[in-house]
Structure 1
């Protein structure tokens, strides 16, 4: 896009090195007015300094918003109704945050009359795809500026030099305190990439982890909690009702103290490369176990199995940035229909990195002890019926065997 083509742009802004440089670069390269948007989705950082930095850069319209409850209620919880895991391990902490941020970028662009939005995602990663697919799904005419795909500032050293030339103040911590990793945090997780993690054989430095104690250092006494569910969503811990964001934050604290939620994964990025990432998702790890437990007594067998078959596709849609796609909405409608009777309480024991289900109950349980018992079932189940059931299901196997095909 040529200079002058953009009059005003909304920038996803953290106030760190990358987005501070991007703010100035947009002003310089496009000659446009910049609106900054900073979202609080539970990253645990003070966000008001971003306002002062933006003001010093001449920004007149500054948005800093607390989106924690919306993030958990409208994005995290719907995803957990599907028991979502990408490639069997990743709880999608970064992936699920991007559609919310991009949605607000588009909304703020409409509110302020901006021509475009801008983000700081690199041309190698998944986030550029997630931001932009969301933006185009919500406003097909929106223009998107991705500086990392345009400029020549391709290293931290070049970014620092640009900041120095333009008088951009960057708070630098001493090397001993600055994390060497590329990190992303929100209420669901914190992620780590880069530095020695780029060698998948190297074990992470124990000092890297921030939310969880090492399982070896977790308490020697287990912790027991109860999580109540309504229509597939957690609503209370130990009988105390909490808002979605408060509930997840509480599970993060409990799980982290018991060494729960660490993961070391090599995943397949949508852009085609393999990437190693380490994650801490203590509350999410507990929720996944608890949700599957309450479903085990409230969901019909075939509905549960079909959900498990659909889940990998659903997970890929979220990972690849298709939260606002027709197919994700279609799958969500089917998943949500299964959750109407997923109500009850799960009791869990947490011990040194492990989450163990030790009880589950529901007024709508499909578990019938009269049928399941190993004792006399008083005629609730006719065991002789199993003979015909087995013979019918064995018919094709017997025919095949007679023909020498098995």
Structure 2
């Protein structure tokens, strides 16, 4: 029986029928463009390049231009609202931060991209669903894991897994085919409405790395030294629903906070993330909205939930992160933990007011409708002492009466 997993260009050539459709994931980058060229050379007559729009940097018109130049039919699927509501929102409630270092991002986007591509591949009757992740990218196991758990019927995988092609070779061959693109990139990037991430290239060496400031979009400090901003974020049942009292869809909440928080230079992360066999690679992120929303959520949660419940939740949060990170978003354990997290989120309602300043932020108000916090400690102490003393006072009164 033929393996459903494609791991090299040779395997793809051997397993594909030129007369049947093939679906590829398409970002408009060098790897995905070269894959389209490879499929054209193999004689595949019907190639569908799928781009799932979740707020990335590359424009739709640019993607259409490249895909059409390589003979593919492009499908640009707008999934921004779905990404925010069904993937980012659960991650906020789960406090999805990798080992306490950085909020997860591609961990959330890959299962959505896989799901959208599988839906289209089934409609088209595609024989294969191919992507371009390589050995040093965690996307490899996340996409393959999602495609497997979704039960895709055709072959799937990445030809780059066992058959890498150098960047220079890809550029030369694409230029020879009449497509000249992305020659100036010095890192590999991944972006969506939640995160902009950089890795590889000039960032390969954790012991010596520097990100040119112009690569940052949201978190480039532009506020004057004396500037400050006050912002209030409101949550209802675990979901961010308003900024400064104005109701907004989650996509707009994230967009506004990325800009408002980022101008103070907040929301940058760097960290090492493990590969399949334990080796680690450096990744750089900017996530200003995530920085504020995750912190706000924890403050509101702390005001609403019992401390012991939060302690147990903190353990399960890392179980949630591990399962999603390892490509098991659609797996039973992640879904089971999600049920617990959703139960906690149902009680997490309130708002946090922040004062943003250059290089930092401070809370100014934490407000929930059914708080566990005290607003007047002395009054509480008086009530607590009076309540504790009441039985003794009644006993003393009875003894005196006797």
TM-score of the two chains, using structure 1 as the length reference = 0.86
Q: Helix, strand or coil for the counterpart of 1:95?
A: helix
Correspondence list, 1:6-405, <5 A: 7-29=20-42, 31=44, 33-60=46-73, 62-151=74-163, 154-165=165-176, 167-172=177-182, 178-213=184-219, 219-369=225-375, 373-375=377-379, 377-381=381-385
Contact 2:29 2:182 in 1 (8 A): no
Cα displacement (A) at 1:203: 4.6
- Further displaced range: 327-336 or 44-53: 44-53
Q: In the TM superposition, what whole-angstrom CA distance separates every residue of 1:70-92 from its partner, at most 9, and x where no partner exists? A: 11110001011011211111201
Contact 1:218 1:259 in 2 (8 A): no
Cα displacement (A) at 1:53: 2.7
Cα displacement (A) at 1:215: 5.6
Cα displacement (A) at 1:321: 1.5
Cα displacement (A) at 1:216: 9.3
Q: Helix, strand or coil for the counterpart of 2:66?
A: helix
Q: In the TM superposition, what whole-angstrom CA distance separates every residue of 1:39-59 from its partner, at most 9, and x where no partner exists? A: 111113311222233223333
Q: In the TM superposition, what whole-angstrom CA distance separates every residue of 1:370-398 from its partner, at most 9, and x where no partner exists? A: 6xx1456333357979xxxxxxxxxxxxx
Contact 2:203 2:211 in 1 (8 A): no
Change beyond 3 A, Cα 1:63–1:213: closer
- Please identify runs of 4+ aligned residues in structure 1 that moved more than 6 A: 382-385
Matches of 2:117 and 2:334, distance apart in 1: 21
- Further displaced range: 2-11 or 332-341: 2-11
Cα displacement (A) at 1:205: 3.7
Cα displacement (A) at 1:32: 5.0
Give the total of aligned pairs. Answer: 376
TM-score of the two chains, using structure 2 as the length reference = 0.87
Matches of 1:112 and 1:376, distance apart in 2: 66
Q: In the TM superposition, what whole-angstrom CA distance separates every residue of 1:283-314 from its partner, at most 9, and x where no partner exists? A: 00010111011111111222111111111221
Q: In the TM superposition, what whole-angstrom CA distance separates every residue of 1:205-236 from its partner, at most 9, and x where no partner exists? A: 44254124556966422211001101111000
For structure 2, the 5+ residue unaligned runs are 1-10, 390-402
Computed over aligned residues only, the root mean square deviation of the Cα atoms, in angstroms, reads 2.3
